[in-house]
Amino acid sequence: MILIKHSVKPSSIGGLGLFAAQKIEKDDIIWKNNTDSEWIITEMEKNKLSAYMQNVFEYHGYFDKIQLKWKLPLDNARYMNHSSTPNTYIDSEGNSRASFEIDIDQEMTCDYNLFDGSKRDFL
C-alpha cells in the first residue's frame, strides 16, 4: 500500500504515472508490501478471467518472480512506470523505498525486471 502523498497524472514515460506530492527522503518507504493492497491469483485463475480482466492484469499488474503468481495492485501503485534507472528500489521485505531524495512533482519509477517475471519487454 502506498504510504506517501502522491498524485496520478500524465507521464513523459507513457500513459499515466505516479508522482510525489511530498518531498521523499532517501530510503523512505513509498509502498509497503501488503497482501491487502493487491489482488493475487495463479496463472490458471487469470486464464479463467474475461479477456478484459486478463488485459488489466497484464497491463497494470505483474507476475511475481518469487511467488509465481499474478498480482494486481489495488491502489495507485499500478501507475508506477518502469525505468532502467529508477528512483526507487525493493528492500529485503519487498517494500519500495526511495533510492535518493525525490522532490514534489517528480515521477516515481521502478525497475520492473527486478520483480516481474512476465517476460514482457519494458522500455
Using the predicted structure, report yes or no on whether residue 119 has a pLDDT greater than 80: no
pLDDT at position 123: 47
> d(Cα 18, Cα 11) in Å, to the nearest integer?
8
Question: Does a structural domain hold residue 93?
Answer: yes
Domain count, the chain: 1
User: Residue 101 is placed in which grid cell?
Assistant: 531524495
Diameter over CA atoms, the chain: 42
The model's pTM is: 0.85
CA angle 33, 35, 37 (to 5 degrees): 85
State whether residue 53 is helix, strand or coil.
helix
User: Residue 69 is placed in which grid cell?
Assistant: 503468481
Question: Does a structural domain hold residue 123?
Answer: no
Task: For residues 14-41, give the mean pLDDT.
Answer: 93
Question: Does a structural domain hold residue 122?
Answer: no
Question: Does a structural domain hold residue 62?
Answer: yes
Using the predicted structure, report yes or no on whether residue 112 has a pLDDT greater than 90: no
Residue-range definition of the domain harbouring residue 55? 6-114
CA angle 83, 115, 3 (to 5 degrees): 75
